[in-house]
Amino acid sequence: MLPDNPNDTLLPRLFAMVFGLFLLLAPACVTGQNKKELQKQRDDLNKKIETTKKLINQSESEQKNTLNQIQVIQQQIQFREDLLKNIQQDISGIESEIGRREAVIAALGEQVTQLKEEYAQMILSAYKNRSAYDQLVFILSADDFNQAVKRMKMTSHYAEVRNEQLALIAETQRKLEESVKALQADMQEKTRLAGEKEREKSQIASDRNKKQQKLTLLKTEEKKLREQQKKHEADRKALTAKIEEIIRKEMEKSVKPAAGGSTAKTIELAPEAKILNADFEKNRGALPWPVGSGIITTSFGKQPHPVVENTYINNNGVDFTTEKNTQALAVFSGTVTSVFSIPGAGQNVIITHGNYKTVYSGLSTVSVKSGDRITAKQSIGSVLDDGEQVVLHFELWKVTPEGGVPQNPALWLKKR
């Protein structure tokens, strides 16, 4: 005898199966997004490593062992360690995905078996109740007219239901085959990444060995390094004094006492400067780098000297190690406040952006002059090659009623 309605038993089961498949397959979308993000990070890190390799080759071609080489190698090690973490994260994600796919494959296999069993039962039921007499009895034995109509419709559409069951079996088998192929691809990707991971481990060990060799050689020149550090500190103090002098002179013109007898002071900006100041602040974390290519080798703030023990570097900005003949670029539109030189430390340019100033130090040539209006990414000069390194020193200052305050440029520049 035919059931009142095959859909009464089939459809709920179909919905349950589809919903179960959705839950199993849904994480694949998230995994795909994560993989894209990890791949982008990996591409960025590989670009940085290529930059450090180029900088190391550039300095080693001159057969010199310098402090800057140590700093570049250290950055390369850091990039490789970040890459190693990225690869391990990707491998862990793939391992989770493999486990998930294995669960999907098992579930799909069970569903194919279940669907085939149900289809066989449906065929057997149709065979047993194939005569017109049995179908007539099935219809006439209905409890009421409405049920009889329903049974008539069900009898005429029974073949359609069987076809739907066949289609579902075929679709489930297709998903099963796709999942098996995806699992095989995941396993191949895991093997590839595992090989890449081992290569990076080897490269990190090689870089550390190279760094140690250079450190050992440089330690024999500690007296020279101490003298260089003293000269470096003197140059930076001269730069800071010049910046503070410029700010002080500007404040004499723009700082006004607050109204109402208050002791507080305010800085009066022209309308155009106010707009520029607001635009500059809106771009915090999104300013372009002051060099087209390169890496940061010395960060903002106080930090230990890479070679000389018990010696610290006080940095009011960040140092970009770059390639020869690199142009220094303005990070935002503004007006050139000052162009000046520090003996032995190259040319310097200060650009004003409302209450903010950017400082570009260590230039061999300058292509702008005081009073020039500058646009973002405009070249302002060439970075100095002093025979041992090509480094642009970059600072960012905020002018307050109390004076100038150096800011950490890393918080303002776009991350690379």
- In tens, the pLDDT along 176-229 reads 788 788 888 888 988 999 999 999 999 999 999 999 998 888 888 888 888 888
Same domain, 208 and 252: no
% of the chain beyond a pLDDT of 70: 79
End position of a domain, from candidates 191, 219, 247: 219
- Total number of domains in the chain: 2
Same domain, 12 and 159: yes
Q: Could you report the per-residue pLDDT of 156-166, keeping only the tens digit for each?
A: 555 566 666 67
* Domain membership flag for residue 416: no
Same domain, 169 and 237: no
* Domain membership flag for residue 1: no
Count of Cβ atoms closer than 10 Å to residue 217 Cβ: 12
| pLDDT computed for residue 66 by the predictor | 83
Identity of the residue numbered 101: R
Same domain, 203 and 252: no
Helix H or strand E encompassing 183: helix 158-219
Same domain, 300 and 171: no
* Domain membership flag for residue 259: yes
Q: How far apart are the first and last CA of the chain?
A: 72
**Degrees to nearest 5, angle at CA 61 with 59 and 64:** 55
Same domain, 179 and 230: no
Q: Please tell me the least confidently modeled range out of 101-105, 219-223, 252-256.
A: 252-256
Look up the CATH number of the domain holding residue 379. Answer: 2.70.70.10
The predicted model gives 355-368 an average pLDDT of 96
* Rg for the chain, CA atoms, rounded: 36
**Which domain covers residue 278, as residue numbers?**
222-411
Q: Please tell me the least confidently modeled range out of 122-131, 186-195, 199-208, 339-348.
A: 122-131
Three-state DSSP state, 281: helix
CA separation for the pair 112, 170 (Å, rounded): 9
End position of a domain, from candidates 172, 192, 219: 219
